[in-house]
Structure 1
Amino acid sequence: MKTRHFGALAGAVAVAIALTGCVPNRASADAEALAVSVTDDTCTVSKATAPGGPVTFQVTNNGTDVNEFEILAADKLRIAGEKENIGPGTTVNYVVQLAEGTYYTACKKGMVGDLVDVRTFTVTAGKTSKASQSESRQIAQAVTNYISYVKDQSGQLLTATQKFAAAYAAGEVAAARAQYPATRRFYERIEPTAEQFGDIDPALDLREADLEQGQAWTGWHRIEKDLWAPAGYTAATPAERTKLADKLVSDTRKLYDLVHAKDFTLTIDQISNGAIGLMEEVSRTKITGEEETFSHTDLWDFMGNVEGADVAYGIVRGIASARGVDGRAVVKQLDTRFAAITAQLSAYRSGSGYVPYTALSTAQVKELSDGVNALSEPLSKLTSIIVE
């Protein structure tokens, strides 16, 4: 779950998922990076226009708080791209594929609340694509394959959620606890897709620490707290359990319906940026153990994120490998580092699952963090390579 609240964008359907890693991407070889200077109350882009195609933004946070850079579509509701978790004093490069049209750029201090310094950004007609007919077919097949994966995972998620919700509503605590992390793993594999659909991700995956005043808390972590109740907590009544369970199933079905809709599609950069975003989420928040505050089933989430990122990478791997020396070098690194992080996580298997995150020593957490960072560095280059 990314720590972001949607404010004025609530309910909007995002058209892109442009997430990147915490390490700067290599800028596109065909376009100069546009400098974005961010402060607590300004969001200035060096140029207000760019040719269509892959556009690279070099975002520097000169403010006092973590920030987020967004590109909105012409209606100012749909998200054409966003780069989150830009810490104070840091600079990140971020690549997104933009078609000709009118957009708006803005930032969001603290990644919550209203957009800051909304400005018009125009994308003009781009250059003729360099992709050959064969490459175009390869890209189209990659997109088709990934959409099929998302549909499959959302279907398995819905089925498992219905079973979990039934156990929870019936007060079968042991059964619900056992099913909780395994069911969430389906969600963790495709979370970037869920984040496209405005209010779906907060409804399903909002953490207690990210609640805004007066905001209703539903979803997995609300139920998690009830199943692993901390001291002083008042357990949900049977009626409250039923309401929470029904809402969880209903919101999961919404996600299922959205990805199975006839007009649902993705772009190749959304797939690669989704992989980057999954690993960024691990390195930014999950490595601290804040995701599963009550159940400490974080390692299930880690593995789900790694599996989802690995699938997305595997689907675009051939495209990256065909992009010359740079592409082959990144592929070689990613093959090695995905295998390494998978092996690290597998060392903490226990039965059909994983040990509690609280069982790991400080040294073991650092080792995992180092493995995630080692993977994130080459992964952050993936989008700029495949959209050249």
Structure 2
Amino acid sequence: MTGNATHETPGPPEAPLRVGLVGYGLAGSVFHAPLIAATKGLALDTVVTSNEERRAQARAEFPDVRFAASPKELWDRADALDLIVIASPNRTHVPIATAALGAGLPVVVDKPVAGTAAEARELAALAEERGLLLSVFQNRRWDNDFLTLARLISDGELGDVHRFESRFERWRPQPKGGWRESGDPQEIGGLLYDLGSHVVDQALVLFGPAVRVYAESDVRRPGAAADDDTFLAITHANGVRSHLYVSATAAQLGPRFRVLGSTAGYVKYGLDPQEAALRAGARPTPGDGPWGEEPEALWGRIGSGESPLTGGGAPIRTQPGDYPAYYAAVTDALRGRGDNPVTALQAAAALDVLEAARRSAREGVTVTLPAAPPSASASTSADNKEQPV
């Protein structure tokens, strides 16, 4: 080493950003808490729940976590927190997000961010006014099949896509009850806003703004109060048509994706494995082996003229799913090193479609949407061949 060599003294390590998590039901316990804890640069500080069973569940996995009985306790100690994550019932999303932003705290909200696009845009305006991050947890942008399809489109493997079929179907002949299946409009329940938030967001990310929406929505199960079998047809501004199905009454499940292009099609069965892994207690911890991988038997197929069910087309390795990428991106955005991975304006564009679908199903009409300004677009068009995530 020469005498002219210099050494840079590394700065102190960054303290982790402290997270307050509101809600510890399905969304909070299965998705948000494990992903927050697995993200470098984040620390789960406080869980808001008054349910003693849920507190015990959280304490068993996160022994150092604090608890609060209401979100107000977080605002009283806002200086000790760096991010609020809202995983409470849908009807609480807007008031809690509004209060958090008012307390000067960045916010992640589970989908749907609001019941209407207007409310989502009001939240976006408030966050911009306060100079705070407002992000929406659209984790299905990091599903294995979606990442694979986005790559195939970006690489031109399908030619010009003209039809996108997406199914998020389940077989649950007996309603479980609870707010998610409530018929009360204030609860923002039903599959259109639950699973529909995912399939619509994915369609807009892949193929750009919607200009027309048609929908059929039914309540099929005895005792059910909210839609449990819904179909949406979207015409995108670029001419692509998306046919989207969400159902709890599918006795035989269709393909998750069937995508038809000018030179080839892609068909993929089966759901991304990450939710099942999280439910089973697996965690995306570095060094614990691969995450989001699926067996070769579940890979989709690409080709033309033959059915994948009879061996037609060539198998295409499914890219590993990557839910941890969402919170890694949120961390980078809070540190000023990257962009918000899912903005409230993007979520508002999806809500425009969901509201149009609800009207279409109710009135039996096709709904035309007004042209959206470029800044409000939820997507990267498939035409520009860029990765959407």
Q: TM-score, normalised by structure 2?
A: 0.29
Q: Rg larger in 1 or in 2?
A: 2
Q: Comparing both structures, which one devotes a greater share of its residues to strand?
A: 2
Q: Comparing both structures, which one devotes a greater share of its residues to helix?
A: 1
- The TM-score, its normalising length taken from structure 1, stands at 0.29
